[in-house]
Amino acid sequence: MRAVSIAMVFLCACGSNGATGDDDTPDSATPNDEWTSLISKGWELAPGGEKTSDLQIDTTDREIVIGGLRPLSPVGTHHTLLFRGASGANAIFASGVGTGELRFPPGTAMKIPKGQLIGLQLHIFNQTDGMLSGTSGIEILEVDPATVTEEVDMFLPGPQDLALAPQTETTVSGTCTVKSNYKVFALFPHMHQLGTHLKTTLTIGGTEQILHDEKYEFEHQAVLSFEPTQLNAGDKVKTDCTFMNPGTTTVGYGESSSTEMCYSILYRFPKGTDEFCED
């Protein structure tokens, strides 16, 4: 499979709470049921303006134990990515237009240690005739570390070799063979503006199970939670994406609004080592 950094998949900007940056951060935190800002950034775009690679890295000033995530996404926020490290190679959370909150199963959490580099990437796009500004970012729900027995992460099954012919409906498929044992519990179907339908199929012990098979709407990209489902090494995740390209040129894979993607982004525990997955 072609090697692509997650930083090139969702795109960019930042600030923080719980991470050292331009914003003030608390010296300590008490786990509760209140959502708080982890990282955010204000922005402004001229009419027709787009930013896809404005990147800032912060450092956490304490351990953060996360039981839920949700985007702060005013109009103009195309998608967001929260990741560990400086290169975007270890994703924590991704969202698109219309994505809501994601709460992890009881006893699970994402852990970000003190001193960890974290980055926020925003892809922002002004499709209006006037100036557009806002503050985009990620909010978190912290939990008591003593209640956590498994760590959560996310990975991206799906094809990257996209070539969508003009004036044509195209369906592209990709299969991911699971490399280790884990449970999946939430799905974030992700395409761009030409996407019309996305299907995710799990093959567990040789038996197919359709996880998701729905019309795709770019303006309503939901994270779909379900009962934790066991996947073992050798099981498969298949992603089928249908696109309609009304334009006059072929559209390929990429991070811009004028390119496309096809991913069944899955959340799992325990955390794994593979991020992109396609046979």
Distance CA 171, CA 153 (A): 28
> What pLDDT does 12 receive?
29
Tokens for 140, please give them: 């978190």
What is the mean pLDDT of the segment spanning 238-252? 97
Asked whether the predicted pLDDT for residue 138 surpasses 90, the reply is yes
In this predicted structure, which of 91-95, 108-112, 143-147, 237-241 has the lowest mean pLDDT? 91-95
Longest dimension (CA), the chain: 57
What is the structure's pLDDT at 89?
Answer: 53
Predicted pLDDT of residue 37: 93
CA 104 from centre of chain? 15
Residue 54 pLDDT = 64
Pairing mode, if any, of strands 251-252 and 19-20? unpaired
Positive or negative: CA dihedral 151, 265, 205, 208: positive
Cis peptide before 270 (omega within 30 of 0): yes
Q: Which of 27, 51, 225, 177 lies closest to 126 in space, CA to CA?
A: 51
DSSP 175-202: EEE--S-EEEEEEEEE--TTEEEEEEEE
Q: How many CB atoms lie within 10 A of CB 266?
A: 25
Return residue ranges of the chain for CATH 2.60.120.230: 154-277
Mean pLDDT of all residues in 156-172: 96
On the 0-12 / 13-18 / 19+ scale of CB atoms within 10 A, 103 is: middle
CATH of domain 6-151: 2.60.120
Confidence of residue 87 (pLDDT cuts 50, 70, 90): low
Highest mean pLDDT among 3-17, 30-44, 160-174: 160-174
Fold topology of 154-277: Jelly Rolls (2.60.120)
Nearest of 101, 105, 84, 91 to residue 148 by alpha carbon: 105
- Residue 241 in contact with residue 172, Cβ under 8 Å? yes
Report residue 54 CA to chain centroid gap.
17
What span, in angstroms and rounded, lies between the C-alpha atoms of 52 and 123?
A: 5
Residue 1: pLDDT band with limits 50, 70, 90? very low
In this predicted structure, the answer to whether residue 206 has a pLDDT above a threshold of 60 is yes
What one-letter code names the amino acid at 216? Y
Pairing verdict, β 195-204 and 207-215: antiparallel
